[in-house]
Amino acid sequence: MSARWSYRELDHAIRTVVNCSRPLQGSETVSLDSALGRVLSLTVKGRLNVPPWDRSTVDGYAVRSIDTAGTGSVSLTVVGNVRAGEFYKGRVGKAECVKIATGAPMPAGTDASVMFERTSEVKETVTVPCGIERGDEVSTKGVDIKKGSTVARAGSAVTPGVIGALASQGMGSVKVARRPVVAVVPGGNEIAPVGGKASKGQIYDVNSHTISAVVSRSGGIPVIMPNVRDDRSAVKRTMLSALRHDACVFSSGSSAGQRDFVAGVIREEGRLLFHGIRVRPGRPTMFGTVHGKPVFGLAGHPVSSFIGAHYLLAPAVRRMARLPPAVPVTVRAKYAGSEPADPHMTHLIPVSVTGAACRPVFKESGAITSISAASGIVKQQKGMAIADGETVDVEILP
């Protein structure tokens, strides 16, 4: 391990990155249907009662519960019909009822509903069971949301349920925290942009698009910048330009020289907090701050680049976006294969999970199918071997 590198354990590296990625200030107003996954900037209070009136929860008859006191059954006269979106005109009197649809407002004078299946109707007379209680099959005014109550709090994530609650208040837009804009910088003379033709000796830019997907999934907005040459001055110009945004990620080429350029510029312009994490793949990952903004240098091989983006970049973007930390989903599975212990490095092994078993799909750091074919990752701690058939924890990839 080179002395010029400053290694960190993975957990330490994650804490460092998250602590240096500050929640962004500022907010914006977006349409309600664009707010999913965003974070509310303001607490929303109820403008309306939901429901706005007492309403039936069944198709049946709106009745006066007092008319059903006693035992057996009682006959009531049907004096009208009310559908959803309508109000019954008049007041229901003694021994009367109104046919009612689910969601329709309760007629004045009634206090309970009886579903059709519990009744029998002949002409304009309906027989209903006795013992109907006040409030049976009725959703009362404001039982869901009361006017003036808290519908959603500032700082909470907008979920489908929150969108529904805001929609119930007639809100077409909502104020949310600003999303972090992350500059993604492809690097290496051998990299060609997708959508065009690669020259002889070039490969298409896999990393920028994988990283951008991680940024988007984590609540950020990726901006892919032009490819930077293997040249220190070009790296410096690109980094300073990229930091007009909220964070910068270099997806380094295979050249060790370019990684050195990125590390050198971070040292020159800010602080290089670590260069190297004790994991495979992903060992060359670096991180620092320049002008107070996070700067990542991810390894050039696609699997290593993804590992850095998944474990380090994603939690940083979530924190900048004011989203809560993601909670990993893990399953237990029997490992189909064996892995020798590595005394120096933790191994992050992409696996495919089928039923109660998992099998490694890692080919090499340069093979993106090691990730595209993976449903999870097994973390093999340094110094620990994995035996064939051993039960392991698998972190399911989102």
Return the pLDDT at 257. Answer: 57
Tokens of residue 26, six digits = 């500022």
Is residue 148 domain-resident?
no
Query: Where is average pLDDT lowest: 36-45, 151-160, 363-372?
Result: 363-372
Query: What is the model's pTM?
Result: 0.86
Percentage of the residues of the chain whose pLDDT score is greater than 70: 97
pLDDT digits (tens, 9 = 90+) for 289-329: 999 999 999 988 899 999 999 999 999 999 999 999 999 99
Domain boundary among 287, 320, 353: 320
Query: Where is average pLDDT lowest: 130-144, 194-208, 294-308, 361-375?
Result: 194-208
Assess whether the previous peptide bond of 281 is cis (omega < 30° from 0).
yes
Alpha-carbon span 229 to 236, nearest angstrom: 11
Return the pLDDT at 201. Answer: 79
Q: Are residues 191 and 312 in the same domain?
A: yes
Mean pLDDT over the full length of the chain: 93
- Domain of 366? 329-396
β-partners of residue 185 are 250
Q: Are residues 122 and 222 in the same domain?
A: no
Alpha-carbon span 16 to 6, nearest angstrom: 13
Confidence of residue 255 (pLDDT cuts 50, 70, 90): very low
Per-residue pLDDT at 48 exceeds 70: yes
Q: Are residues 90 and 20 in the same domain?
A: no
Per-residue pLDDT at 140 exceeds 70: yes
Q: Are residues 68 and 106 in the same domain?
A: yes
Per-residue pLDDT at 339 exceeds 80: yes
Residue 276, by phi and psi: left (phi above 0), alpha (psi -120 to 50) or beta?
left
Neighbours of 145 (CB within 10 A): 20
What is 109-123 written as a DSSP string?
T--EEEEGGG-EEET
Domains contained in the chain, number: 4
Confidence of residue 190 (pLDDT cuts 50, 70, 90): confident
Domain boundary among 320, 341, 356: 320
Residue pointed to by tokens 């977006």: 30
Return the pLDDT at 259. Answer: 62
Identify the CA nearest to 85 among candidates 114, 62, 105.
Answer: 105
**CB of 59 within 8 A of CB of 113?**
no
Tokens of residue 130, six digits = 């006795």
Confidence of residue 6 (pLDDT cuts 50, 70, 90): confident
Backbone angles phi, psi at 71, to 5 degrees: -125, 165
Q: How far is CA 56 from CA 81, 96, 167, 176, in A?
A: 13, 17, 21, 36
Per-residue pLDDT at 1 exceeds 50: no
Alpha-carbon span 97 to 137, nearest angstrom: 15
Per-residue pLDDT at 203 exceeds 90: no
What is the b/e burial string over 40-62, where b = at least 16 CB atoms within 10 angstroms of the residue's CB?
bbeebebeebbbeebbbebbbbb
**CB of 298 within 8 A of CB of 304?**
yes
